[in-house]
Every structure is written in structure tokens, then in C-alpha cells.
Amino acid sequence: MDWLPLASAALGGVIGSGSTLLADRLRWRREREERQRDLAREEADRQTTLRREIYTQYLAALSKLRNGLREVAHAPILSHDERVGRMREIFLSSGAYELRFQVQLSAPAELVDLAEAAYKSLRSLRTRIEDGALFSDGPYLTARDAYHDAFRDLRAGMRVDLGVDSI
């Protein structure tokens, strides 16, 4: 019996099976890497969506707080105690204090600093109002403008962090 054709057929079968196994292994690896990339992309998208929601809520809370302070500054008939009480109520009801912690946990350090600066500028504005400044007084206007600058910087930093093109 001639073994050469049998050996050739067996070697061909081994080579064919080996190449099929190798191709399957490479395809499996490529598909696994694609799934991992897709999962990482989905997680990054979820994180961006979460940060966007937190940022939006924080900006809205700061705006609510700012508007409340403006109302108090426009009410010259309030006594000092009434002003302090109203401003305390405004700070507590705005939700900004609590949202600061969410920003601190989810935002990069530079953005946390900007968020703190905006919040502290509102506390400075509150202090001017507690000291008796009305909406048209110099100390009020200076503190208000500082807040507007801090708010603008915070909003711009959030847009950069979210990858939103500037307007």
C-alpha cells in the first residue's frame, strides 16, 4: 500500500483544520475586542449623560439661588432679620448646596474649583445683601458681576468637559 497519498490527505486535513481554528480564534478575539470597545463607549456615554444631568441641575440651582437673592435685594422694606431669614430659606430651597457634592464626585478637579467659585460668589452676594446693599448699590453690583463671571466660567468649563462646541 502506498502511504504517500494517505499522508498527504492527513497533512492537508490537519493544515485545513488548523487554519480554520486559527481563523475562528482570530475572529473571536476581534469580536471580543469590539464588544469591549462598545461597552467602554457605552459606559463613557452613560457617564457623560450623568454629568450633563448633574451640571444642568447645578446650573439651574445656582440660577434659582441668584434670582432669589435678587428678589431680596429688590425689597428695601424688609428688616435685617427678615432679609437673613429669606436668604437662608432661598439657600436651603435652591438645592445648590447638595448638588455641589454631586459635582465634586463626578467632575474633574478644575471644574470642581469653578463650581466652588460660583457658589462662593453667591455667598458673597448674600453677605452684601445682609449688610444692607440693595440691587442698585455698588457692593451689590460688584458681587453680582463677580457671580456672573464665575457662572460664565463654570458654564464654559462644563461645556468643555462634556465636549460641547462653544457657541
Res 149: pLDDT: 98
Q: Is the pTM of this model over 0.85?
A: no
Domain topology for 47-162: Four Helix Bundle (Hemerythrin (Met), subunit A) (1.20.120)
Residue 10 has pLDDT above 80, yes or no: no
Q: pLDDT (tens digit, 9 = 90+) per residue, 67-124?
A: 999 999 998 888 989 999 999 999 999 999 999 999 999 999 999 999 999 999 999 9
Cβ–Cβ under 8 Å, residues 112 and 104: yes
Round to whole Å and give the CA distance between 111 and 55.
Answer: 10
Cβ–Cβ under 8 Å, residues 126 and 83: no
Ordered by start, the domain boundaries in the chain are 47-162
Q: pLDDT (tens digit, 9 = 90+) per residue, 127-165?
A: 999 998 898 999 999 999 999 999 999 999 999 999 987
